[in-house]
Structure 1
Amino acid sequence: MPVSKPKAAVSRKTTEAIKPKRVVRKKKKNGLSTKWKVALAGLLLVLLSPLYYGYILNGFVATWRWVRDWGQDPNYRTYKSFNIKIPKKYAIHGIDVSYYQGKINWSKVKLMKEDEVSIRFAFIKATEGVLLVDPYFQRNWREAPKVGIVCGAYHFFRPKRDGKTQAKFFLQVVDIEKGDLPPVVDIESLDGISPLKMRTELMDFLNYVELKTKVRPIIYTGLTFYKDYLEDHFDGYPLWIAHYYQPKLNLDKSKWNFWQHSDKARINGIGHIVDFNAFNGDSLAFEKMKIDKL
């Protein structure tokens, strides 16, 4: 019988070389990572916290108060015919005009009325600086009183110009009569000079007008300009303040007489938007504002 040959020895290295490698598969992680779990837990704690709901409630209350005080304040409502909101706590209303409004039909202005609001007075631009006369002044000054509107004339003041010279110019143009509102000086800017210089020239204007007419003039200005440059310097002068689109003028009521609360009113008989004003007082106080002697 043939003798079988012994099998050749196979090295361990060779054996390992021919064994297929085992593939290790990474297990897919189910759910969220620890980082996201911590974030969600924190969010849940916030949402369930009484402080969070207190914050939301405070925000809701603040929004409701804003709507109540500004959007739906019963003392500051929209008048459709005038196309603006008007404070309701004032009984006497008026406008101020210049060449900007063009030719005005004052009869239509006088007849316009919505509820208790009508035009009782008008301030009319007369002059500016030392040379400019408003081209519509004489017509407005003549026609508005004919329909029963009480009028006052105003001068647009230029601080760089001599105050007394401006006052003389203003009085040369305006014929002030008994029953008119006091003359007005409109001061709105420094025009590049110091506040002290502006106040000096303004005082010269006021003194000269009062000397010649025996009437203390009204000062017109914006609320910010008044607080920055005029407050505590012209006490005793009637004050007309511009402060727009607010249910209340942010100034002590004892300090002002007229409030220009809008510059966007629509008035019958006028082809352009107009400034709208309220008088701080009743009919008796308004009568006392008028010039009773010259």
Structure 2
Amino acid sequence: MRRLAAILMLTLLGACSTVEDLSPLSPSSPAVAVRAPKFEDSKPHEWDSGAPWTYAIHGTDVSKYQSSIDWPTARASGISFAFIKATEGGDRFDDYFNEHWARTRAAGVPRAAYHFFYFCTPAETQARWFIANVPRDPSAMPPVLDMEWNPNSPTCRLRPDPATVRSEMTVFLQMVERYYGKKPIIYTSLDFFDDNQLATFRGYPYWLRSVAGHPREKYGSHPFTFWQYTGTGIVPGMTGKSDINVFNGSEAAWKKWLRQNTR
């Protein structure tokens, strides 16, 4: 009788599940928990067209200001990737980088490290600082260079001319690409993009900030891979206001992009 019951149980399991069904999700799994989620927002924008929730893949970006995150809950709500601040300038390391880096991996959330550029330190020094602090992890997404003006900086109000900005960007990007073996992503805002004529700076994937309209309305035909559409989102598992982003492509395109960029 016991043998018969065991056979019946195995038969039922075989009919209902595959090996993948019974295996735990690995940290590098490209599976998407929620497709095209629609997060709440404390200051929602009225989207005329190209609403963010029409995109399949959503993610967030975090730093020390998001000090306590329940990553499994965030992932289950629809967070499929995370950009994590690592460094700034040539001597600042984000207090929560190591924690966010480890916990996103444990939760199965693909992640990338980003560097906030500081205009009073040479690009070469900044690239070396980033490399010294961010591990060379094949499972990570490509590193990110965050380029934006920082008018509130207490130590550096310098605004170099566009040619100098683009030259410094090139130094940083090339050094980081050589070390990690992945083409870095450029994050920027509309004013910085226009001020420094970044429409002419091609050859890298872009992550564009545009919280008051679709990127095609603000940046024209400039290609983008990621779009930051709000800084006031509400994400389960995260306290306070959250940045939320989308991947510019379908779920199939996302899985392909991950395969190409996380190995």
Normalised by the length of structure 2, the TM-score is 0.74
Q: CA separation in 2, counterparts of 1:186 and 1:231?
A: 13
Q: Which has the higher contact order (CA 8 A, sep 6+)?
A: 2
2:61 to 59, 80, 96: 96
Alignment match of 2:160 (pick from 188, 193, 199): 193
Of 267, 277, 283, which aligns to 2:235? 267
Cα distance per residue 1:241-268 (max 9 Å; x no partner): 0011325642346611100010001112
Q: Which residue of 229, 248, 254 corresponds with 1:280?
A: 248
Q: Which residue type is aligned with residue 155 of structure 1?
A: H
Contact 1:87–1:248, Cα closer than 8 Å, also in 2 = no
Question: In structure 2, what is the Cα distance between the partners aligned to 1:247 and 1:194?
Answer: 28
Deviation per CA, 1:36-93: give whole Å up to 9, x if none.
Answer: xxxxxxxxxxxxxxxxxxxxxxxxxxxxxxxxxxxxxxxxxx9464554652321000
Alignment match of 2:116 (pick from 147, 156, 159): 156
Within the candidate set 143, 150, 170, 2:103 is matched to: 143
Distance 1:253 1:144, change over 3 A: farther
For residues 234 and 104 of structure 1, the distance between their equivalents in structure 2, rounded to whole angstroms, comes to 35
Report the 3-state secondary structure (helix = DSSP H, G, I; strand = E; otherwise coil) of the residue aligned with 1:99: coil
The whole-number CA distance in structure 1 between the counterparts of 2:180 and 2:63 is 23
Gaps of 5+ in 2: 1-36, 46-50, 150-156
**Separation (CA, whole Å) in 2 of partners of 1:176 and 1:286:** 22
| 2:154 is aligned with 1:172 | no
| Corresponding pairs, count | 212
Normalising by structure 1, we get a TM-score of 0.66
Deviation at 1:180, TM superposition (A): 1.9
Task: Give the conservation status (yes or no) of the 8 Å contact 1:186–1:221.
Answer: yes
Q: What is aligned with 2:81? A: 121
Question: 1:38-77 maps to which residues of 2 (within 5 A)?
Answer: none
Structure with greater Cα Rg = 1
2:211 to 235, 244, 249: 244
The Cα shift of 1:292 comes to 4.0
Counterpart CA distance in 2 for 1:288 and 1:213 is 20
Identity of counterpart residues, as a percentage? 35
SS of equivalent to 2:195: helix
Q: Higher mean Cα deviation, 163-172 or 175-184?
A: 175-184
For residue 196 of structure 2, give the secondary structure of its aligned residue in structure 1.
helix
Quote the offset at 1:195 in angstroms. Answer: 2.0
Q: Which amino acid aligns with 1:265?
A: G
